[in-house]
Chains A and B, each alone.
Chain A
Amino acid sequence: MTLNRRDFLKVSGAGAAAALTGCATTASSARPHVVVVGAGFGGATCAKYLRQWGPNIDVTLIEPNDKFVSCPISNWVLGGLRTMDDITHGYDRLPRHGIKMVKDSVVAIDPAKRFVKTRSGASIAYDRLVLAPGIEILTGTVKGFNEAETAGKVVHAWKAGPQTALLRKQLEAMPDGGTFVMSVPAAPYRCPPGPYERACMVANYFKQAKPKSKIILLDGNPDVVSKKPLFTDAWNTFYAGMIDYRPNNAPLAVDGDKMTVTTEFDDVRGDVLNVVPRQRAGELCAMAGARNDSAGNWCAVNFTTFESTTVPNVHIIGDSVLSSLPKSGHMATNMAKICAAAIVELLAGRQPDPIPVVANTCYSATSSTTSGYVANVYRFEAGKGYVSAPEGGATPKGDALNFTYNESWAKNIWADVLS
């Protein structure tokens, strides 16, 4: 059923000629095929909008998981504001757009012959490939992490799912007066405000349920990476004396038996340890040879199409992209839309939008009733990349109105991605 590139060109050439003679319907057999790998915020959005804007395009979406588990709002689960069910959603509505869903994992990519190989042994050919794998967490960079993780003692919970549920259980089991130790990876990492929101959510829970408890935040960065005024205001007003923030304290090692995190300065003991190692672009990007920055960590793309700068016909969206854009779920959906629009144009032999504009909106809860945001609009400028428009930025203080917007945002973006 799947067309290879030569077939596609042959038939689309015939289609173009037919269109000139007024028999365009004969081109309907020439359906280009786009394969999207990864059905998170970026991938699912890209598949959906490809079908919406390019109904003549066949779209296959490959994803190993049964359900979508949202990283945004997963910190609320840790704080007890929401349950795992609230952040878990089915993919059942996507096939209604004409997307072919394949439950499988990609194990190899051949960009020269344009096909992917899956774990179950299938070869799926493509005209254009979209990779939306999210991040690979470099667990090996923190000594002892792999052992502690395998033993179920220490998790990162930086990909929402079973680790989120486990970390919540660990927090629930912790006695009052205990210490929660969390580490923040050196930037760039997924969700810049995420670690600080997590500290707020755990503090909110401790304040209600275990008020004698403490949080030690070991930051691998020299300062709070995102929304500093918002978070420091919350830490000082809502959680005074509870959060011990330590900049320049990257974790070097973790010991799940002694329950310590080792930094350059000392061994920090805790009752619950949440170590978030450094990250890079997902493994899928490496399979395609697209993790192409100087350190081999992130993927440089053409910003009008999100096509790899080095691997033709392979597009990368979301957290894996090397850019000035924040690594957020919201940003991934916006990249996905620009990428989908560009692929529709490219497959039709037209020029993509040369000046795409994307926006990021990111809410963070600071308590069970208050949130703040950061918002920016980014306009592509040739030779410069995406440039932030003036007046973007973050709220200095959380409030109740933004908490209601935060809740509404989550419902709407989940609906936009999945329905």
Chain B
Amino acid sequence: MIKKTTLAIAGLAGLALSGVAGAADIHTQSIASTCMSCHGPGGRSQGAIPSLTGLDKAYFVKSMKDFKAGTRAASIMKRHANGYTDAEVEAMAAYFAGLK
């Protein structure tokens, strides 16, 4: 929804500026970037927290659903998983799967 609006506005204004990260809409780009505060820049982690870079999309989605449902043991991730919609989880999964 946001993506469509954004593209429509950008198209109308003729301001097709470069540099907006790939195909990700701004909402996905922002929420994915907030994951990086713990999981490291670009999703590359140092230490015990897992990396997200290039993670398989289906695995990402299943992990978040299982954290949310409580069927996968977690320390902090249940708290986070509950805060996002299914659509947001799908979009973040695609975003991190696409990072190298």
Contacts and interface: CB of A to CB of B under 8 A. Distances in A.
Contacts of B79: 375-377, 391-393
Contacts of B17: 27, 56, 348
Given A330-B37, A409-B38, A348 B10 contact: yes
B76 interface: yes
B12 to A, nearest CB: 9
A375 to B, nearest CB: 4
Report whether over half of chain B's contact residues are helix, strand or loop; otherwise say mixed: helix
Interface in B9-27: 9-10, 13-21, 26-27
Contacts of B5: 351
A393 B79 CA distance: 7
A244 interface: no
Contacts of B9: 349-351
B84 interface: yes
B40 interface: yes
A390 B49 contact: no
B10 to A, nearest CB: 6
A263 B14 CA distance: 64
Given A49-B33, A54-B19, A352-B26, A377 B38 contact: no
Interface in A143-172: none
A223 interface: no
Contacts of B36: 412, 416
Contacts of B2: 353-355
B80 A359 contact: yes
A337 B34 contact: yes
Nearest to A392: B79
B46 interface: yes
A395 to B, nearest CB: 8
Given A412-B49, A413-B38, A353 B33 contact: no
Nearest to A344: B20
Contacts of B76: 361, 373, 375, 402, 405
A407 B48 contact: yes
A407 B34 contact: no
Contacts of A393: 79
A392 B10 CA distance: 36
Contact of B78 (A333, A391, A405, A407): A391
Given A24-B16, A405-B75, A389 B37 contact: no
Contacts of B46: 408, 411-412, 415
A412 B37 CA distance: 6
Nearest to B41: A416
A131 B80 CA distance: 28
Contacts of B18: 55-56
B41 A419 contact: yes
Given A55-B18, A56-B18, A348-B10, A389 B83 contact: yes
B31 interface: yes
Contacts of A404: 47-48
Contact of B26 (A334, A345, A349): A345
Interface string B74-89: 0110111011100010
A348 B21 CA distance: 14
B96 to A, nearest CB: 15
Interface in A1-28: 15-17, 19-20, 24, 27
A402 B78 CA distance: 14
Contacts of B47: 404, 407-408, 411-412
Given A350-B10, A357-B27, A359-B37, 4 more contacts: A53-B19, A348-B17, A378-B83, A379-B83
Interface of A: 15-17, 19-20, 24, 27, 49, 52-56, 330, 333-334, 337-338, 341, 344-345, 348-359, 361, 373, 375-379, 389-393, 395, 401-402, 404-405, 407-409, 411-413, 415-416, 419
- Enumerate the 6 nearest inter-chain pairs by beta-carbon distance, A residue then B residue, closest first: A377-B83, A408-B47, A389-B83, A404-B48, A391-B82, A375-B79
12 contacts: A17-B14, A56-B17, A338-B30, A341-B26, A341-B29, A355-B27, A359-B34, A359-B37, A359-B80, A409-B38, A411-B40, A416-B37
